[in-house]
Structure 1
Amino acid sequence: MANKPCIYFFTLYAPGHLMSMVEFAKRLSSFGNSCSINFFVLMEPDERNQLGSPLCSSYLRSLQAQNTPFKLHRLPSVEPPTSFDGIIERVGLYVRSYLPHIKAQLLASPSPISALVLDVCASDVIDVANELNIPSYIYHTSNATHLALISHLSCQEDENNLKDFSEAEDINVPGLIPIPSTCLLNDFLNRNSASSKWIMHCGRRNNQAKAVIVNSNIYLEKTTIKALAEGALLAPDTKISNVYPIGPVISLGKNKSKEQECLKWLDRQPMKSVVFLCFGSMGAFDVSQSRQIASALEQSGHRFLWAMLTPSNELVGYPTDGNLDELLPEGFIERTKERGLVWPSLVPQTDILSHEAIGGFVTHCGWNSCLESLWFGVPMVAWPLYFSEQHLNAFQLVNEMHVAVSLEIDRKEGFVSANELQRAIKCLMDEGSEEGRSVRKKAGEIKLACREAVEVGGVSYVHLQNLAIELGWKEVHSQST
């Protein structure tokens, strides 16, 4: 078995991408060991190169400590781009600079390579796969609606004649409900911007891969997944070869660090009484917004656990531990100490969401956080920030899945008032709130559906099983009978 076929994975050095892809690889490995799994890993960032995440570094260390049978291949360090128009273009250029190193590693492989699985933002590696005659697959870490929207728009028009959506109220995609233009990044609405062209470029590359793997399932996005399968949302001569909706793919490993002190605090709270506020590894607010949040929590009367970070001054720098003295109103901690906890660092999010004391989640609407919340049946307040597809995710949570309370956001400034956040929290958490009862009930239903989907014989399991067979796993048939 020394020369058994191997699969190479390449992902961004960002928590929402790397961690999701590793968990996907773990699921594949559960079908046996007939294929070896290899990960291309970018060099850890230094002070000059801020494209990486400290959370990714700790996650990879824990992965190695678990003796996971994945081979990690660290790629040589490259110079980060110095000329770019926005973060999206910067990431695209950064990935391109790795193509020669990826090609060299693949050529040096002692075993036959059965597939190359690529992050959705690393789709230019398809060129290397094609050159070496290796089947390529795109792993889409976001939801199916985002995949459908980008795939549809990218194949409708020539990239040199792009329609501007900045004045449109809705974007209509065949098979989907109308999507408000406010759900998209401002740079994307201007179709001639560098960011928009990069997104469209990635969308066209989706259609060039052998298949696209998406972290969703038919219970979450029935209409969209049906439209993707039928191909109606693409141009007549364009079709994604295949779509495998295998979600939810989330990390459920228990955290053993000192951060579990916040779990001990939760142990002392009544069941479903605490609203949890956490905004991802990049989510942090300035003094003005932080104090609006504090005011909302104080006035709401509800118990709360708030993971607070301090913003970075770098373009893509990661936040640091929360400076409570600077960010919070004077006396806030003392006034709320009987019913609230502000935790000034990253938290073990899945451990918290699974805790019986949690009754609601104020989230930035990163797709991984959404899936984690739904896995544990926790309803949400949707507070999308300014990254990637978060506004689209919020729209889905509120208007299609009906598992979240909406929040009025000043889109230009990204600002939410204390009164508006207080309203949303009370709507979500108050026993007398009809909307709150509805989203809590729906979240509970989706929790059961998601768990059923990934069990043996479930819809996501069957898609994963079929994908494993396509990738070369020989043990799948015997395991599934």
Structure 2
Amino acid sequence: MLMANKPCIYFFTFYAAGHLMSMVEFAKRLSSFGNSFSINFFVLMEPDEHNQLGSPLCSSYLRSLQAQNTPFQFHRLPSVEPPTSFDGIPELVNFYVRSYLPHIKAQLLASPSPISALVLDIFCSDVIDVANELNIPSYIYYTSTATSLTLMSYLSCQEENNMKDFSEVENINVPGLIPIPSTCCLNDFINRNSSFYKGLMHNGRRSNEAKAVIVNSSIYLEKTTMKALAEGTLQLAPDTKISNVYPIGPVISLGKNSSKEQECLKWLDRQPMKSVVFLCFGSMGAFDVSQSRQIASALDQSGLRFLWAILTPSNELVGYPIDGNLDELLPEGFIERTKERGLVWPSLVPQTDILSHEAIGGFVTHCGWNSCLESLWFGVPMVAWPLYFSDQHLNAFQLVNEMHVAIALEIDRKKGFVSAKELERAIKCLMDEGSEEGRIVRKKAGEIKLACREAVEVGGVSYVHLQNLAIELGWKEVHNQST
């Protein structure tokens, strides 16, 4: 009888590691409230005969869920024909989401239990139309920072009101936030003619139609933004405020990896404590020969111990990198010269296992928000090297200027290029006990580690937000029935 009365929630994400994994881990947190929810997932853009795009991290993660007997139901949607052409990833994702809408409506109507809510990834925001049609409350789950959410929502309202072009200003000034230099955002984020910008603005506007936005962050990470959200002072436009926000982070996947990739952990076991700098750029981060050899030169000249996860770029327009071709990417003799203090790993690595290892002293990261949260969870300071998506550049700005947990890199933003000399400077600064800047970021990373863990413990600020959300979704009613 209790099972029949469980609030039924459908989650919508898409087949990308930084989105799918974060949303499933959030669902795990939510289901920890007395196992009070019936959790269902739709994963859009799963690989099939039409769509061959597929993150290898997603595949391994979903297999691990099966092995854990996670009590979530995953529903498959019918295949849809891919677009004949598209201009950028946001347009591709939006095309698929719109194509799925009739199938989503049909499956929701066939649900054997009344549906309490839909929880949508920001890129699935058009599913709000189905939610409204079926009179189901909708929530957005946002996998990046509250600051980038607010910036996106704010810019979408300014565009709507035909205000000034933000691509030509030094700082983007959002009332209630710290000034955001336009240089920390990619051109696509503030250039109104780009498809990327149009996609972000569309999702920014739609997020304010949801009942609330759930954000993977906390007050300890974004004090200025969170204070403005809590006080209700964030004005997006006259008479327009941002949707109610639940900051419930950090939410990360901490499952242990048991594959052959553990060999790199065995190498770490032989290294001194906090002596190794870890370089990894996410499941889509790969460099050409020129940049890879600059990285190799920096590591060679630095004299530091290192673990470098290196991949080869895909030849596809939208595709995931493949295992690193070391003969092509590395200078002759590099591995031999550095074999006593370094390991080059030419494939994906068990990142959380590495970041939690006592030998790791620093992390050179692409600034994907999930990677940032993992690093902070384990108290590892960073060198911020944002790559391909706009939020990574904003994340880097916050890590350096607001959280003070990362060393900045001088980057040629048009090419995304970093010289060997500059990278060497940054990693030495990060790892050198005598560096004052390094000392500050190492100390701050340790403080935020403790704050993040405190936030999600019972009674912590993020836990309380999650509990309030669970009550809104129906947990209190079911809990009372069970007692």
Q: Same fold, TM exceeding 0.5?
A: yes
Shift of 1:241: 3.7
Q: Which moved more, 1:61-70 or 1:46-55?
A: 46-55
Shift of 1:12: 1.4
Would the aligned equivalents of 1:287 and 1:326 in 2 still touch at CA under 8 Å?
yes
Would the aligned equivalents of 1:148 and 1:228 in 2 still touch at CA under 8 Å?
no
Shift of 1:384: 0.2
Structure 2: 5+ residue stretches without partners: none
Q: Take 1:277 and 1:439, find their aligned partners in 2: how far apart are those partners?
A: 17
Would the aligned equivalents of 1:43 and 1:76 in 2 still touch at CA under 8 Å?
no
Shift of 1:477: 6.4
Q: Take 1:196 and 1:322, find their aligned partners in 2: how far apart are those partners?
A: 32
- The CA deviation string for residues 422-469 of structure 1, in whole angstroms up to 9 with x for no partner, is 000000001111100010000000000000000000000000000001
* Percentage identity across paired residues of the two chains: 90
Would the aligned equivalents of 2:48 and 2:79 in 1 still touch at CA under 8 Å?
no
The verdict on how the C-alpha distance between 1:342 and 1:2 changes in structure 2, with shifts beyond 3 A counting, is same
Map 1:87-126 → 2, pairs under 5 A: 87-126=89-128
SS in 1 for 2:475: coil
Shift of 1:328: 0.5
Q: Take 1:68 and 1:33, find their aligned partners in 2: how far apart are those partners?
A: 12
Would the aligned equivalents of 2:6 and 2:37 in 1 still touch at CA under 8 Å?
yes
Residue 136 (structure 1) aligns with: 138
Q: Take 1:415 and 1:480, find their aligned partners in 2: how far apart are those partners?
A: 58
The verdict on how the C-alpha distance between 1:47 and 1:335 changes in structure 2, with shifts beyond 3 A counting, is farther
Q: Which residue, out of 74, 90, 107, partners 1:72?
A: 74
Q: Take 1:361 and 1:477, find their aligned partners in 2: how far apart are those partners?
A: 43
Would the aligned equivalents of 2:364 and 2:384 in 1 still touch at CA under 8 Å?
yes
SS in 1 for 2:291: helix
Q: Take 2:277 and 2:478, find their aligned partners in 1: how far apart are those partners?
A: 42
- The CA deviation string for residues 253-282 of structure 1, in whole angstroms up to 9 with x for no partner, is 111111010000000000000000000000
Q: Take 2:436 and 2:482, find their aligned partners in 1: how far apart are those partners?
A: 44
Would the aligned equivalents of 2:46 and 2:54 in 1 still touch at CA under 8 Å?
yes
Shift of 1:69: 0.3
TM-score (norm 1): 0.97
Q: Take 1:326 and 1:197, find their aligned partners in 2: how far apart are those partners?
A: 38
Would the aligned equivalents of 1:31 and 1:479 in 2 still touch at CA under 8 Å?
no
Are 2:331 and 1:326 aligned? no
Would the aligned equivalents of 2:18 and 2:370 in 1 still touch at CA under 8 Å?
yes
Structure 1: 5+ residue stretches without partners: none
Runs of 4+ in 1 over 6 A off after TM superposition: 475-481
SS in 1 for 2:362: strand
Would the aligned equivalents of 2:7 and 2:473 in 1 still touch at CA under 8 Å?
no
The verdict on how the C-alpha distance between 1:392 and 1:7 changes in structure 2, with shifts beyond 3 A counting, is same
The verdict on how the C-alpha distance between 1:184 and 1:47 changes in structure 2, with shifts beyond 3 A counting, is farther
Would the aligned equivalents of 2:7 and 2:475 in 1 still touch at CA under 8 Å?
no
Q: Which residue, out of 352, 370, 393, partners 1:350?
A: 352
Would the aligned equivalents of 1:151 and 1:203 in 2 still touch at CA under 8 Å?
yes
Q: Take 2:34 and 2:112, find their aligned partners in 1: how far apart are those partners?
A: 21
The verdict on how the C-alpha distance between 1:362 and 1:47 changes in structure 2, with shifts beyond 3 A counting, is farther
Would the aligned equivalents of 1:323 and 1:344 in 2 still touch at CA under 8 Å?
yes
SS in 2 for 1:365: coil
Residue 162 (structure 1) aligns with: 163
Shift of 1:232: 2.8
Q: Take 1:168 and 1:400, find their aligned partners in 2: how far apart are those partners?
A: 21
Q: Which moved more, 1:130-139 or 1:59-68?
A: 59-68
Would the aligned equivalents of 1:278 and 1:306 in 2 still touch at CA under 8 Å?
yes
The verdict on how the C-alpha distance between 1:192 and 1:337 changes in structure 2, with shifts beyond 3 A counting, is same
Shift of 1:94: 1.8
Would the aligned equivalents of 2:189 and 2:390 in 1 still touch at CA under 8 Å?
no
SS in 2 for 1:346: coil
Shift of 1:44: 3.4
- The CA deviation string for residues 34-60 of structure 1, in whole angstroms up to 9 with x for no partner, is 320000023632575244312212211
- The CA deviation string for residues 346-373 of structure 1, in whole angstroms up to 9 with x for no partner, is 0000000000000000000000000000
Q: Take 2:147 and 2:459, find their aligned partners in 1: how far apart are those partners?
A: 25
The verdict on how the C-alpha distance between 1:479 and 1:245 changes in structure 2, with shifts beyond 3 A counting, is farther
The verdict on how the C-alpha distance between 1:194 and 1:231 changes in structure 2, with shifts beyond 3 A counting, is farther
Q: Which moved more, 1:384-393 or 1:397-406?
A: 384-393
Q: Take 2:466 and 2:399, find their aligned partners in 1: how far apart are those partners?
A: 25
Would the aligned equivalents of 2:326 and 2:346 in 1 still touch at CA under 8 Å?
yes
Q: Take 2:83 and 2:156, find their aligned partners in 1: how far apart are those partners?
A: 25
Shift of 1:476: 8.3
Q: Which moved more, 1:367-376 or 1:146-155?
A: 146-155
Count how many residue pairs are aligned between Structure 1 and Structure 2.
Answer: 480
Q: Take 2:402 and 2:257, find their aligned partners in 1: how far apart are those partners?
A: 32
SS in 2 for 1:475: helix
Q: Take 2:262 and 2:96, find their aligned partners in 1: how far apart are those partners?
A: 36
Are 2:480 and 1:474 aligned? no
Q: Take 2:195 and 2:280, find their aligned partners in 1: how far apart are those partners?
A: 31
SS in 1 for 2:39: strand
Shift of 1:172: 0.3
The verdict on how the C-alpha distance between 1:130 and 1:458 changes in structure 2, with shifts beyond 3 A counting, is same
Shift of 1:236: 2.9
Shift of 1:196: 1.4
Shift of 1:132: 0.2
The verdict on how the C-alpha distance between 1:44 and 1:204 changes in structure 2, with shifts beyond 3 A counting, is closer
Would the aligned equivalents of 2:12 and 2:44 in 1 still touch at CA under 8 Å?
no
Q: Take 1:188 and 1:43, find their aligned partners in 2: how far apart are those partners?
A: 24
Q: Take 2:482 and 2:335, find their aligned partners in 1: how far apart are those partners?
A: 54
RMSD over aligned CA atoms reads 1.8
